[in-house]
Amino acid sequence: MLNLLCALILAAGGDDPVLDIVELTSGKKLEGIILRKTDEEVVLAQGSRHKTIAQSKISNLSGPRPDYPEYIRRLKELATSTPTAPMANELADWCIEHGYPQDAKMLRYFALVVDPANEKAHTALGHKKYGDDWKAKLKSGSRVRWETIQERRFDFSDSWEIQTSHFEVKAAGPLDDVIFSCMELEQFYSLYYAQFQEKIGFYELQNRIQIYIYPDLESFPPQSGIEAAYFDSSEKILRSFFTSAGPDNLLHEATHALLFSTGRELERRDPEFPGWLDEGLACYFEAGIIKTPGSISFDNTLIEMPRFRVHRDAGKKMDGLTRVLNYQKGDFWASTGRVRRYAQSYTLVRFLLHSGNDELRESFFRFLSSAYRSKGSTTYFKKTFGKKTYKNLEELWTDWVLKVAGN
């Protein structure tokens, strides 16, 4: 089995994905990309076709997707330890063996963050040693000193271009900040899937999400005049910029990118999620993320109290439930009421997930599932929650916000 997997890795030239192997009880082996795995079945992509296979007919799964949780565990372990270049290279070697060639290259760069003179990492990246200097090749074919390369990469027109399993990152700035961002994005992908895939049933992404990180605010192209990170669904690019605390709102915007991309992968067309759901989920993840350089975890008990206070103190300006359910994406770029709309979207999502009412929680997941399938309107929301529940929902929500925020 290992020999077959290695052969698939070697055959996957260029940007072609390394395939998974589904071994059937009959002895037959199927190759493809595992899009989703449940206790009952596996969905396998073979080109443009999707094949659903009952678990009772499967004897073994192998490849990058089945091994992905182990990769994330090892990546997080590396980031939270006192990393050394040999440790980074060891994980890079593991990635090569298990079908993550792009992540392996990212980890070679991480080895150079820890030890700029590490021979194994330089050699694996194609760098050549001339005397005491390591030189890397430019796109023009000429070679320059590794120190010079790092200086050039502060210009976005000559930025770092690094791929991971699910992201393609073009970033200008210090190499350590760039690599930490890549590691955090990949862990966030895993986290998002762990939270929602089983309930919603969306698929593994087959196309990487494009991330642009500019060196500073001055070089950043704002959207609608607002100087903050954003995900542009028309271009399918997430744009951010480095601050002293790392990329601006990177994981908040990555939520938008993942919601859009997983919806598109599932329905094979651009999704249209309601504004409150899109922003509410992004704020929900943002509130629960615990981050250290290169590592993230999620604690759903963490609450962003300032947003609750904004909602509590809105008074007569507070929007009713029907208005909130009809928020459009443009409402979050408006000059007035913007902060309140974020707050109410966040508290609504948190209320539906964590008010302690299991019926509301399950109804939220049913609605999210329907929104993934182009049924995210207020009409479908009312239908999902039921007429009786919907009638009392605004009062229950408001009372809960006051209880959490304090009167």
Q: Which two tokens stand for residue 365?
A: 């997941």
User: Amino acid identity of 187?
Assistant: Q
User: What pLDDT score does 134 carry?
Assistant: 98
Phi-psi bin for 14: left (phi > 0), alpha (psi -120 to 50), beta?
Answer: left
The amino acid sitting at 286 is E
First to last CA, the chain: 62
Q: Tell me, what's the pLDDT at 329?
A: 87
pLDDT of residue 137: 92
CA dist 186 and 180 (Å) reads 10
Which one, of 48, 99, 108, lies nearest residue 70 by Cα? 99
Strands 237-243, 209-214: pairing is: parallel
Strands (E), 254-360: 289-292, 295-298
Determine the pLDDT at residue 201. Answer: 96
Q: Percent of the chain scored above 90 by pLDDT? A: 91
Pairing of strands 49-54, 41-46: antiparallel
- The whole-model pTM stands at 0.94
Residue 138 CA to residue 144 CA, distance in Å, equals 7
pLDDT band for position 135 (cuts 50, 70, 90) = very high
Angle between helices 275-288 and 250-267 (to 10 degrees): 130
pLDDT at 63 over 80: yes
Q: Under a CB-based contact definition with an 8 Å cutoff, are residues 315 and 378 in contact?
A: no
Res 14 pLDDT > 90: no
Topology adopted by domain 2-62: SH3 type barrels. (2.30.30)
Residue 11 banded pLDDT, cuts 50, 70, 90: very low
d(CA 405, CA 379): 30
Give helix 358-372 / helix 387-405 axis angle, nearest 10°: 110
CB atoms within 10 A of CB 252: 22
From the list 210, 213, 353, 200, the residue with the least C-alpha distance to 262 is 200
Longest dimension (CA), the chain: 78
CB 206 within 8 A of CB 261: no
Give the pair of three-digit tokens for residue 115: 């030890």
Between the CA of residue 192 and those of 99, 189, 254, 302, what are the distances in Å? 22, 5, 10, 16
Domain ranges in the chain are 2-62, 68-272, 297-405
Q: Does residue 403 carry a pLDDT above 70?
A: yes
Neighbours of 109 (CB within 10 A): 20
Write down the mean pLDDT value for the chain: 95
pLDDT in tens, 66-121: 999 999 999 999 999 999 999 999 999 999 999 999 999 999 999 999 999 999 99
The tens digit of pLDDT for each residue in 333-372 reads: 887 899 999 999 999 999 999 999 999 999 999 999 999 9
pLDDT tens digits along 165-197 = 999 999 999 999 999 999 999 999 999 999 999
Q: Which helix (H) or strand (E) holds 106?
A: helix 101-114
- The more confidently predicted of residues 12 and 303 is 303
Report the distance separating Cα 125 and Cα 177, nearest Å.
19
DSSP secondary-structure letter at 158? G
DSSP element (H, E) containing 324: helix 321-325
Taking residues 269-297, report their average pLDDT.
97
Give SS3 for 3. helix
Residue positions counted in the chain: 407
pLDDT score recorded for residue 394: 98
Q: Is 170 helix (H, G, I), strand (E, B) or coil?
A: strand
CA 128/CA 133 separation, integer angstroms: 8
pLDDT category at 226 given cuts 50, 70, 90 is confident
Please tell me the predicted confidence (pLDDT) of residue 368: 98
DSSP per residue, 356-402: S-HHHHHHHHHHHHHHHTT--SHHHHHHHH-HHHHHHHHHHHHHHHH
The vertex-272 CA angle with 266 and 277, nearest 5°, equals: 100
- Is 59:50 a contact under the CB 8 Å cutoff? no
